[in-house]
Amino acid sequence: MGGISAIGAYIPRLRLSRKLMTDANAWFNPALKAFGRGERAIANWDEDVVTMAVEAARGVLGKTSGVGLGAIYLASTTAPFAARQNAGIVAEALHAAGALRTMDVGASQRAGTTALLAAFDTAMARKQRVLVLAAEKRHSPAGSVQEMTSGDAATAVMVEEGDGIARLVAQRSTSVDFVDHYRAQGREFDYGWEERWIREEGYLKLVPPVIAAVLADAGLAADAIHHFCMPCTLSRVPQAVAKKAGIADDRVRGNLDGVCGDTGAAHALLMLAQVLETAKPGERILVIGFGQGVDALLFEVTAGIDKARPDTVASSLAARKELAGYSRFLAFNDLVKLERGLRAEADKQTPLTTLYRNRDMVLGLVGGRCERCGTIQFPKAAICVNAACGASGSQVDQPFADFHGRIQTWSADQLTYCPDPPAHYGMVQFEEGGRMTVDFTDVDVGAVDVGMHMRMVFRIKEVDPQRGFVRYFWKAAPVTAA
Amino acid sequence: MATGIRDKVAILGMGCSKFGERWESNAEDLMVEAYTEALADAGIETKQIEAAWLSTAFEDIHVGKSGVPLAMALRLPYIPVTRVENFCASGSEALRGATYAVASGACDIALALGVEKLKDTGYGGLPQRSRGALNSMYWANVSAPGNFAQIASAYRAKHGVGKEDLKRAMAHISVKSHDNASLNPKAHLRNKVTEDQVLNAPMVSEPLGLFDCCGVSDGAACAIVTTPEIARSLGKKDLISIKAMQLSVSNGTEAQHNSWDGSYFMTARIAAGRAYAEAGVKRPRDEISLVEAHDCFSITELVTMEDLQLSSEGGAVRDVMDGFYDRDGKLPCQIDGGLKCFGHPIGASGLRMTYELYLQLLGRAGARQRAKNPVRGLVHNLGGLPNQNVCSITILGQHGA
């Protein structure tokens, strides 16, 4: 049936303390206090489903980039574009576009597991590697329970024909139009129904039969499951489902509620990724996706896990920075009418012809390397920038995305319009050669200086508020000690 | 072999509007104000002008494109009028056009006029504008102060200058410019400030505070140029002539090649070297009497003193703190207040700097006149970003000097 050869996650650096959220909103809804423990992961202002998916994918792809990849499937219910394939943007950023199958999967919290199932079918049928990405940047009304329980993150899973680190043993799906919540086309927020009904008629009635079926397919009893991964924000529901299915309480894996929050369509895969960071060969993992039906995927950890142990859930949970203030979260997510100043009014229309012509450069961060003198330069140009060379038509593609560099010049700018001032930017000189003056992200005020070690990350450059277009480019972020 | 521009063109007359927040005036009014003074100074009539150059950089918020706005405002008699733009060095470009036209013999009398009407945006600082379609997709989210602040970080790292030491030298520069402008009735910012005020002002772009940034002003400046012979025939006795005009434009080396360290202006060094050669200046620190540098930001002025070979490399902090560039120092810089306080209407600035040197060379600068009339002055006019810019150097002086 195929296996997972690599898995990873990208949980953005910023965390929002739930205490800050209840402090701000419990005056209106005291029931929020019940959710007031721990923190949730939040995307920086320049992150969305596409950028987080790219970052998760890079962790899984390593330095090989997307070469030899057959397909990229992106699952999300909060992707930035309703029309313009989001997976296609990811492919360009990974420098993997071209002979590649790409697909967006959405509309259900189950999209992540469904995309993973489709990836197994594709990998087996076409004998190709398939990269499954699931990401969410949750968008909820201020003061809502969803705002408390949600989290932002991305997961990446590489699926191949072989057994990999975890082989798929059995799988089952059902489709049921059970509407626990919905979001109509063009609407900003989800609309949900009563939690007691979702628990009784939804999870507890719809999930156990699918578990029974998948166990029967595998010829296993419920006690053969070592790790039960079912995302759910309702208290004790995973335990209740497990009990009904005959799975012991201590096999129910935690849902990262206190450290990340529920990441929607990405969450089942995120829980799977976390389990695989410590699971032993021979252990079995049951992953459930719930949303207008159920997906169940039963994995067995292989001996390969010891040679390719994933670790990015732990490392990205460790690389955390608490956001100073709930109001900044509201501003980042356009949940408050903020006075952004006249400078923010500048027209940000993107000429699509220009973008298309330069997509390797802008989305893929591809520059040039002069074959005559070896000078690496960005952007790639017709004539070499090295004054001692000056060769014409001598440059080949040189990807810059995986370069590391040092800050040569910088400033923290309070004047320019930036959603999170001051805007940090400066010149980064790369160890491999070449330089660029570029925006910085994920930096702390007062901590930036000449010589700082930086890497490149794919981020939102700006959003065109008039037309909704999201303009992406790469920024320099500090290399954090892993 | 080209012989250069030295002493081939004389300034017949100059004019400059009051700079500042000219709420009551359109750009056309400012043009006429500068032109009227220049025309009277030249002692000629409009019909004697044979060609004209107009410089503006933010034309879309005032006069719009082309040379037509100048021709219309001054009622020029259907002569060639060319509009030029080269970032903040636009004013010097207009002068270069007029000067070269006269030097080539294409015409006898030519006009250069620069104007900018910046205070119609509704906010402080320079207007927002497009950087170009592709540039907007990958350039950092830069502002003018943020661009020039970059120089400070690299300069400190290279020369081992402490943050506080550099900040104090930058403050000295701004205090000096405010002092100088207090004597200049046409300057935008005429208030004196203290070093403490400068050091404690709000941060605009680290390490540049509010007083490290020049004024954004409305204004116009104008020059009428001709040959020395014609100037004499029109009754001029003390001729001020142009000794050198050089322009250097970045080709991508600073932005894309790792040979530049970010602590200085490559273009300024190249243009200055060429200008000194053209003017026959061997020892700039001794032979230049006055300098009008493009002090868009205090750090720009400081670093520029080294690029112009007036201070040794790494030595500008000491010279600034020693008062070398003060009004009563050995080589005054921005004796009129500079961009910092006279103001910076982009398209007019190169011509405004030339205007001040012209007045000083003729002994006509009033309360701020240098005691002993200077012999040779230098205009440094810079535009763009430290890593890709346009630098213009003009040297002018007593004719024959």
Q: How far is B302 from chain A (nearest CA, A)?
A: 17
Neighbours of A292 (CB within 10 A): 17
**One-letter identity of residue A109:** Q
Is the model's pLDDT at B373 over the cut of 60?
yes
Q: Does B257 touch chain A (CB under 8 A)?
A: yes
| Contact (Cβ atoms closer than 8 angstroms) between residue A435 and residue A408 | yes
How many helices (H) and strands (E) chain B has is answered by: 15, 11
Q: Which residues of B touch A346 (CB under 8 A)?
A: 128-129
A214: which 2 tokens?
């998948």
- CB A414 to CB B142 under 8 A? no
Contact check, Cβ <8 Å, B255/A437: yes
- For every residue of B170-238, DSSP letters joined together read HHHHHHHHHHHHTT-TT-S------HHHHHTSPEEETTEEGGGB----BEEEEEEEE-HHHHHHTT--S
Cβ neighbours of B255 in A, within 8 Å? 435-437
CA distance A398 to A124: 33
Q: Is residue B178 annotated as a catalytic residue, yes or no?
A: no
Tokens coding A282? 């021979």
Identify whether the C-beta of residue B214 lies closer than 8 Å to the C-beta of residue B344.
yes
**Residue B203 forms contact with A (CB below 8 Å):** yes
Q: How far apart are the C-alpha atoms of B148 and B302, rounded to whole Å?
A: 12
- Tell me the chain A residues in contact with residue B151 when contact means C-beta distances shorter than 8 Å: 409
- Active-site choice (B188, B344, B380, B399): B344
pLDDT at A67: 60
A346·B258 Cβ contact <8 A: no
* B261 Cβ under 8 Å from any chain A Cβ: yes
Q: Which of B118, B120, B138 has the most A C-beta neighbours within 10 Å, making it the best mutation to test the interface with A?
A: B138
What percentage of chain B exceeds 90 in pLDDT? 96
How far B120 CA sits from the closest chain A CA (Å)?
12
Give B10-49 pLDDT, tens digit per residue.
Answer: 999 999 999 999 999 999 999 999 999 999 999 999 999 9
Cβ contact B210:B199 at 8 Å? no
Tokens 């980042």 -> residue: A332
Question: What pLDDT does residue B130 have?
Answer: 87
The answer to whether B138 contacts A451, with C-beta atoms less than 8 Å apart, is: no
- Give residue A481's pLDDT: 61
Domain boundaries defined on chain A: 3-332, 361-365+400-478
Give B-chain residues touching A426 at CB under 8 angstroms.
Answer: 140, 150, 153
How far does chain A reach from its first CA to its final CA, in angstroms?
34
| Bond before A12 cis per omega within 30 degrees | no
Q: Cis link prior to B332 (omega < 30° from 0)?
A: no
DSSP A113: H
**Subunit contact A437:B139, Cβ cutoff 8 A:** yes
In 3D space, the residue among B309, B224, B266, B230 whose CA is nearest the CA of residue B53 turns out to be B224
Share of chain B above pLDDT 70, in %: 100
pLDDT of A63: 44
Of A378, A471, A473, the CB nearest to B256: A378
- Asked if A127 and A237 touch (Cβ cutoff 8 Å), the reply is no
For residue A358, CA distances in Å to A88, A90, B103, B184 come to 15, 16, 44, 51
Mutation site, B156, B205, B210, B213, interface A, largest A CB count within 10 A: B205
Which residues of chain A are modeled with pLDDT < 50?
Answer: 63-64
B160 lies within 8 A of chain A by CB: no
Q: Which of A273, A252, A24, A232 is nearest to A132 (CA)?
A: A273
Confidence (pLDDT) at A66: 57
Mutate to test the interface with B, among A361, A435, A437 (most CBs of B within 10 A): A437
Neighbouring C-beta atoms of residue A182, cutoff 10 Å: 12
Contact status of B120 with chain A (Cβ, < 8 Å): no
The answer to whether the CB atoms of A473 and B258 lie below 8 A apart is: no
Tokens of B267: 């273009």
- The angle formed by the CA atoms of residues B3, B7 and B10, to the nearest 5 degrees, is 135
Residues of chain A neighbouring B202 (CB-CB closer than 8 A)? 414
Measured between CA atoms, how close is B282 to chain A, in angstroms? 28
The nearest CA of chain A is from the CA of B209 a distance in Å of 10
How far away is chain B from the Cα of A160, in angstroms, using its nearest Cα?
36
Rounded-to-10 torsion of CA B72, B74, B78, B84: -80
- Domain A361-365+400-478 sits in CATH 3.30.43: no
Q: Which of A240, A297, A292 is nearest to A271 (CA)?
A: A297
Spatial distance between the Cα atoms of B126 and B128, rounded to a whole number of angstroms: 7
Kindly report the nearest CA distance between residue B368 and chain A, in angstroms.
34
pLDDT score of B106: 98
Contact B204 A358 (CB under 8 A): no
Q: Which residue from A346, A361, A462 is facing B128, i.e. has the nearest CB? A: A346
Beta pairing, strands B219-226 & B203-205: unpaired
pLDDT at B100 over 70: yes
Interatomic CA distance for residues A155 and A333, integer angstroms: 21
How far apart CA B27 and CA B20 sit, in angstroms, is: 12
Beta strands in B104-260, from DSSP E residues, in sequence order: 110-116, 203-205, 208-209, 219-226, 240-249
Structure tokens at B242: 């142009």
Residue A77: name the closest of A146, A16, A17, A130 by CA: A146
Collapse the DSSP code of B98 into the 3-class scheme (helix H, G, I; strand E, B; otherwise coil) and give the result: helix
User: Which positions in chain B touch A429 (Cβ < 8 Å)?
Assistant: 258
**Taking CB atoms and an 8 Å cutoff, what residues of chain A touch B161?**
none
The reply to whether B256 touches chain A by the CB within 8 Å rule is yes
- CA B291 → CA A117, B11, B31, B177, distances in Å? 73, 18, 25, 13
Quick one: average pLDDT of B113-130?
92
Q: Is B138 within 8 Å of chain A by CB? A: yes
- Structural domains in chain B, CATH included, are 10-120+218-233 (3.40.47.10), 143-211+239-398 (3.40.47.10)
Q: What are phi and psi of B65, to 5 degrees?
A: -80, 170
> Residue holding tokens 């982009």?
B346
Q: How many residues does chain A have?
A: 482
Cα gap A254→A229, rounded to integer Å: 8
**Considering all CA atoms of chain B, what is the largest pairwise distance in Å, rounded to the nearest integer?**
58
User: Cα–Cα–Cα angle for A42, A47, A48, nearest 5°?
Assistant: 90
What's the average model confidence in pLDDT over B335-362? Answer: 98
Instruction: Test B141 with A377 for CB contact under 8 angstroms.
Output: no
- Distance of residue A386 Cα from the nearest chain B Cα, in angstroms: 7
Residue position matching structure tokens 């690496």: A376
Tokens for A145? 């329970």
Q: Are B127 and B365 in contact (CB under 8 A)?
A: no
A451 to chain B: which residues are within 8 Å by CB?
A: 157
Q: Is the dihedral of CA B262, B264, B270, B271 positive or negative?
A: positive
pLDDT digits (tens, 9 = 90+) for B77-93: 999 999 999 999 999 99
Indicate the pairing of strand A14-17 with strand A321-322: parallel
B122 CB within 8 Å of a chain A CB: yes
Torsion angle (degrees, nearest 10) of CA A315, A317, A319, A325: 170
CA distance B125 to chain A (A): 8
- B182: Cβ contacts below 8 Å, ≥ 6 apart: B190, B191, B192
Q: Tell me if B146 and A425 make a contact (CB, 8 A cut-off).
A: yes
The answer to whether the bond into A422 is cis (omega within 30° of 0) is: yes
How does pLDDT run across B268-281, given as a tens digit for each residue? 999 999 999 999 99
Name the average pLDDT for chain B: 97
Chain A interface disruption, residue of B147, B148, B153, B166, most A CBs within 10 A:
B153
- Per-residue model confidence (pLDDT) at position A310: 95
CATH superfamily placement of domain A3-332: Thiolase/Chalcone synthase (3.40.47.10)
Handedness of CA B315, B168, B378, B384 (dihedral sign): positive
Of B125, B207, B385, the CB nearest to A415: B125
Answer yes or no: do B261 and A381 touch at CB < 8 A.
no
On chain A, the residues whose CB falls within 8 A of the CB of B389 are none
Are the beta carbons of B258 and A362 separated by less than 8 Å?
no
The chain B residue lying nearest A350, using CA atoms, is B133
Reference A445, options A355, A321, A343, A358; nearest CA is A321
Give yes or no for a contact between A289 and A155, defined as CB atoms under 8 angstroms apart: no
Euclidean distance between CA atoms A188 and A183, whole angstroms: 8
A-chain residues within 8 Å CB-CB of B207?
A: 411
What ipTM does the predicted assembly reach? 0.96
Mutate to test the interface with B, among A409, A428, A435, A471 (most CBs of B within 10 A): A409
Residues A57, A54: Cα–Cα separation, whole Å: 5
* A53 min Cα distance to partner chain B (Å): 21
What whole-number distance in Å separates Cα of residue A381 and Cα of residue B317?
A: 38
Positions of E strands within A223-379: 227-229, 284-290, 293-301, 321-322, 366-370, 376-377
B residues 52-111 lying closer than 8 A (beta carbon) to A: none
Left, alpha or beta for B386 (phi > 0: left; psi -120 to 50: alpha)?
Answer: alpha
pLDDT at residue A64, as a whole number: 47
Active site residue B380: no
Task: Write out the H or E segment, with its range, that includes residue A78.
Answer: none
Length of chain B: 401
First-to-last alpha carbon distance for chain B, in angstroms, is 22
Interface test with B, best of A413, A440, A462 (most B CBs within 10 A): A413
pLDDT at A284: 98
List CB contacts (< 8 A) between B136 and chain A.
348
Checking if the pLDDT of B261 tops 60, the result is yes
Q: Which two tokens mark B293? A: 């540098």
